[in-house]
Structure 1
């Protein structure tokens, strides 16, 4: 096991499965202590146990991004055990069944539900953990976005996913991109770097495992952004091949 991240503490939301689990595995295999944040503590503990079998220092924390009490409890736990946080990966997200309708037919409740997790949840977790990230020598925030959040690509009729016009999901990822840019600008004079990443069409529960990319591939860019050097970029949107258009 590589130990280039030894001493680093990383929290990944929605990490009991899918891309989040794989990000945790890759960071942990490089020596980081990984905090498996999940709504269901039992599933989180199962995931952490599996990682520990591979000699990864994994811990489970109960964190529901739409329940402030669980966010606050997680902050207290990290403060008490580690005194800092080096890496935050905002991975948790949803695509509601009601979002598969034409945009004009989507119910307002679907929009609210999606934003509650995908936008407000990302902000709530980031805001609460920012003081601990500021205690790191080189804090990193990675927001899982999507090419479906790109206004440029959504406007292109030749875009590979031009037919995927999910009003709530796509626009929520556009909002995540905006949060990324604005937070990066605020933190530009600190060691913290904030970026968004597109994992690509990865086979996960969110698409009934129809994606053609593996979770190993989907995690590549997020792990790269989570481990950027001191002179790395901040305030960008990337996949493993480079810049993704806004």
Structure 2
């Protein structure tokens, strides 16, 4: 190898030491806080947003903090637009944070998260699932073949979908589908012996425009910055979280209930199928 070729190879290797993340919905809230957190760790940050003006404003704020940032148009509601993401390269970390609340036709608009389950229209469900599930699915599918690095991590921001005290139907239905995708893609990675990981994080109550909550509304409402710090712990804890759904306290959810699958397996092993499933 000539000196010039050695120099080019060395330069390329040095360049790849700079890790790159794409964060959807990163112009505000949790997404922007994650961009700040990862940017200050040395990540090159791609700000995914559907509105270019707001996305560029976020980029300028990050650059003012010394972070390398760039705007990338990501409109989860436009599946055709998402095909452009396949041109991206060297993505080490994809964080699927963007989404809508699902109360599209309520009087309160997108911030009404307390709508009766019986009041959701077919359009509410259809549009929310298209954006939150199909849009997120499309982002991953476009990046998987050539845009993600060998050891890339994919993180989906999600919620528990089986709780009686908070049940915005369209939103949790879309997240249930997203959680199923996390399990399915994760198990496919394992089956294919891929080094990639996909997992989901449930951040709990966070003060965002999506739900209209504010820090101080209750002791449980976290700021976006606190949430970003919590999520980053799972990113950098050196554990394999593939196919997991992780609660903010570190609890691993199996089939949406902590330890449910293991409980069932242990019960069947101890008492047999007849006892467990008898009518």
TM-score, length of structure 2 as denominator length: 0.75
- Equivalent position of 1:172 in the other structure: 174
- 1:1-246 matches, within 5 Å, as 6-76=17-87, 78=88, 83-97=89-103, 98=106, 100-134=114-148, 136-147=149-160, 149=161, 151=162, 154=163, 162-188=164-190, 189-210=193-214, 212-227=221-236, 229=238, 231-245=239-253, 246=256
Distance 1:132 1:198 in 2: 28
Larger radius of gyration, structure 1 or 2?
Answer: 2
Distance 1:240 1:90 in 2: 16
Distance 2:143 2:232 in 1: 19
Gaps of 5+ in 1: 155-161
**RMSD between aligned residues:** 1.9
Number of matched pairs: 224
Q: Deviation at 1:104?
A: 2.4
Distance 1:142 1:47 in 2: 21
Residue range with higher mean Cα deviation, 64-73 or 96-105: 96-105
Distance 1:238 1:66 in 2: 27
Q: Deviation at 1:199?
A: 1.3
Distance 1:6 1:42, change over 3 A: farther
TM-score, length of structure 1 as denominator length: 0.85
- Cα shift readout 1:185-205 (whole Å, capped 9, x = no counterpart): 001111111000111110000
Match of 1:242, SS state, is coil
Residue range with higher mean Cα deviation, 136-145 or 60-69: 60-69
Report if the CA contact (8 A) 1:90-1:122 is conserved. yes
Distance 1:28 1:138 in 2: 19
Distance 1:21 1:126 in 2: 20
Gaps of 5+ in 2: 1-15, 107-112, 216-220, 257-279
- Cα shift readout 1:145-203 (whole Å, capped 9, x = no counterpart): 013x2x2xx1xxxxxxx332211111211111111000000011111110001111100
Distance 1:222 1:131 in 2: 26
Q: Deviation at 1:31?
A: 0.5
Distance 2:168 2:248 in 1: 24
Q: Deviation at 1:223?
A: 2.4
